[in-house]
Amino acid sequence: MSRIVIALGGNALQSNPKDTSAESQLNTAKDTAKYIVDLVKEGHDIIIAHGNGPQVGQIVSTYETAHNIEKNNTIMPFPECGAMSQGYIGYHLQQAIKMELIKRGINKEVVTLITEVVVDEKDENFKNPSKPIGSFFTEDEAKKISSEKGYVFKEDANRGWRRVVPSPLPIKIIEENSIRTLMEAGHIVITVGGGGIPLLEKEDGTFKGVDAVIDKDFASEKLAEILEADKFLILTAVEKVYINYGKPEEKSLDKVKVKDMEEYIKQGHFAPGSMLPKVKAAIKFATSKEKRETIITSLDKVKEGLKGITGTTITL
């Protein structure tokens, strides 16, 4: 059996984007857990990573609203909001997976680890913050907050102005030894939630949190390399990756070599804020060592994807 790092997309956490309640998320997590435990039952070692976009946005917006109502309330720093989202989502996944394991008579522990990830302050992405977070503001409100806090705001599709933060690449996972220890003990580990809490390393060897968002697919790929995973599984909203998506000549990709996928990137087939980071992370893992493969597919096709029946498999 294989050691598999699974990167869960947003639809595995919130199936109904209009219902962002905790109850809805927990119910979705229960459905997600069934597919994960299917793999555990087959004997695979499973490590789980996940996104946190909607959840961390809710947390930020809640603090922003509280700050506007009561001026004495401070806006919570973004790294702390990321940590809250890791705990919140991890709790739901941990509870749901444990319940499913008990139902099937499988004796395994499930552990959520609050995870920090080092980034490089010289990363080019710090020069161009692009990830929107939190509430919408008017232009005047955005200018006022920017002057007070130094935040960067950008207009978001004519819906208002939102704060944006950088999206640097991950360099090192601080808790990698703890993750490995838990995994080798046979536990299911939920980690690098939301890409991990971004940290900058100081000259004295200590760290400080930074306002940024690490793409969960890149953080998951880094984790897969560190843990010497056999397969890297990216679960998203579609069963396969497509070229010419949404056009008459649309074509799904089944088994693809890295060199062909790189050519598709050059041709502009993948959207920057959607499939492109997944494909780039897939390529990075597939080229990290011989016989490694990345599979991109949907949650409900996970078993078929691992068997090569469906999904898009990227290999060297």
Active site residues: 10-11, 131, 216, 278
Tokens of 213: 């968002």
Burial pattern 20-35, b for ≥16 Cβ within 10 A else e, equals eeeebbebbbbebbeb
Return the DSSP state at 309.
Answer: S
For residues 121 and 139, what is the distance between their CA atoms, to the nearest angstrom?
Answer: 29
Q: Sign (positive/negative) of CA torsion 249, 254, 257, 262?
A: positive
CA distance 87 to 127: 30
SS3 108: coil
Angstrom distance (rounded) from CA 138 to CA 149: 16
Q: Under a CB-based contact definition with an 8 Å cutoff, are residues 154 and 67 in contact? A: no
Alpha carbons 188 and 32: distance in angstroms, whole number:
14
